Amino acid sequence: MAGSRRVEHLIVGAGTAGAAAARTLRAEGAEVLLVGRELDPPYHRPPITKGLLQGVETRESTFFDGLEDIELLTRTSVMALDTGARVATLQSKEEIEYGSALVATGAMVRRLNAEGAQLDGIHYLRALANAESLRRDAEQAERVVCVGGSYIGCEAAASLTAMGKRCTVVMLEAEPLERGFGARAGHWFRSLLESHGVEVVGEGSVEAFTGGERVEAVQLDDGRSLPADVVVVGVGVLPDVMLARKSGLELGDTGGVRCDAQLRTSAEGVYAAGDVCEYASPLHDGRHVRIEHEDHAERQGETAARNMLGAGAEHRTVPYFFSDLADWASLEYVGGGAEWDEEVVNGSPDDGRFSVWYLDRGRVRGVLDVNSHGDLDRGREAIEQGARLTRPDIVG
């Protein structure tokens, strides 16, 4: 019969936020149990579309450091949290009594619900094994279609092009990366991709995948057909709230676990962090936002851990994001989840090094920095201070 035990701090989800929280708690000498349902110990996901896919990084090199003296259960799902009794039930039926718990269950890929979606050769990217299986499959392929113009689709297209494949990116938007960075920056990214031979198809909606057992083409709703030996789908993620919902935690407007600025959920002693966490962000005037970036998940894990130890701190770190398109361009961004009504470009897009400042009635909401133009720290400071700037303040 399954037994029961007690831990000071239970972390559900052994991903980025969970690992960062576990490390922070351990560093303070606290007792932690980190439970994750994946096969692997916590690892960095960004290499999945970059070095691991290209074969220049190994699986082991993606693993998190600093977890050696932390008790970790892999291949183990937490099935339920009784937040009143503070008891978690594992899939083994073992019960864990906890003092405080962190829900760091991340996100799941959004599946494209088109005809032919079950054909062989259609890939989604979330876990290490996905990169390995895409890499194996792509070895035999000539033509790859990446569905989705966000960073997953663009990064995968760049990596696969660098591996000698003929890639097409197809997306609903007019320009790649437009949703995050606007049409002007998006146009620059389109030119970059095209200059390396990637075909970019904007305003294209996938209607079906066709083929025999294996995919042979992607059909668009305007009748176009894009030949494909392999397809990569990157059309967003959904917060993984299965456990949270079952445990009665309040959910928010973006579908995540609703938290206050200290990352406390609606249940006493239960916190959330990372892709699943929708928090009242002081940097966004208290608006609830949910952000899907690695550094953000790590920083939130740390804040939640400190609060599990009683710090009572608000999460105020400016979200940071990075992306690489093969070795063609690197981009970094601070801010996030915000709207803007003005864009100010600093530097020279023609030379490939520039920044775009996103202002909302003059207030700096985000800064995109391409190829280390050098505006990131200034941008972060302006966002932290709630600064209102004009074009001359920015470009000097």
Ligand X SMILES: Cc1cc2nc3c(=O)[nH]c(=O)nc-3n(C[C@H](O)[C@H](O)[C@H](O)COP(=O)(O)OP(=O)(O)OC[C@H]3O[C@@H](n4cnc5c(N)ncnc54)[C@H](O)[C@@H]3O)c2cc1C
The contact set with ligand X (CB under 6 A) reads 12-18, 35-38, 45-46, 48-49, 77-78, 104-107, 125-126, 152, 240, 243, 274-276, 292-295, 297, 321-323
Give the nearest distance from C-beta 382 to ligand X in angstroms: 21
* Residue 116 or 234 with smaller CB distance to ligand X: 234
97-106 burial, b for 16+ CB within 10 Å, e for fewer?
A: ebebbbbbbb
Q: What angle do CA 189, 195, 201 make, to 5 degrees?
A: 60
* Angstrom distance (rounded) from CA 177 to CA 186: 5
* Angstrom distance (rounded) from CA 20 to CA 18: 6
State the residue number with the nearest CB to ligand X.
15
Helices (H), the chain: 16-27, 51-54, 128-139, 151-162, 178-195, 242-246, 294-308, 376-385, 391-395
Q: Which residues pair with 325 in a beta bridge?
A: 329
* Residue 186 or 234 with smaller CB distance to ligand X: 234
Q: Which residues pair with 237 in a beta bridge?
A: 109
* Residue 274 or 335 with smaller CB distance to ligand X: 274
* Residue 92 or 390 with smaller CB distance to ligand X: 92
- C-alpha distance from residue 42 to each of 16, 17, 244 (Å): 7, 9, 21
For CA atoms 174, 364, 304, 258, the dihedral sign is negative
Give the nearest distance from C-beta 274 to ligand X in angstroms: 2
Give the nearest distance from C-beta 347 to ligand X in angstroms: 22
Give the nearest distance from C-beta 239 to ligand X in angstroms: 9
Give the nearest distance from C-beta 45 to ligand X in angstroms: 3
* Residue 333 or 354 with smaller CB distance to ligand X: 333
DSSP 321-335: EEEEETTTEEEEEEE
Judge whether 216 and 228 are in contact, CB under 8 Å. yes
* Angstrom distance (rounded) from CA 37 to CA 48: 18
The DSSP bridge pattern shows strands 206-211 and 199-201 to be: unpaired
* Angstrom distance (rounded) from CA 94 to CA 190: 52
* Residue 202 or 274 with smaller CB distance to ligand X: 274
Give the nearest distance from C-beta 219 to ligand X in angstroms: 25
* Residue 293 or 306 with smaller CB distance to ligand X: 293
Give the nearest distance from C-beta 144 to ligand X in angstroms: 16
* Residue 78 or 145 with smaller CB distance to ligand X: 78
* Residue 86 or 116 with smaller CB distance to ligand X: 86
- What would the two tokens of residue 165 be? 């494949």
* Angstrom distance (rounded) from CA 329 to CA 189: 9
* Backbone φ/ψ region at 281: left (φ over 0), alpha (ψ -120 to 50), beta: beta
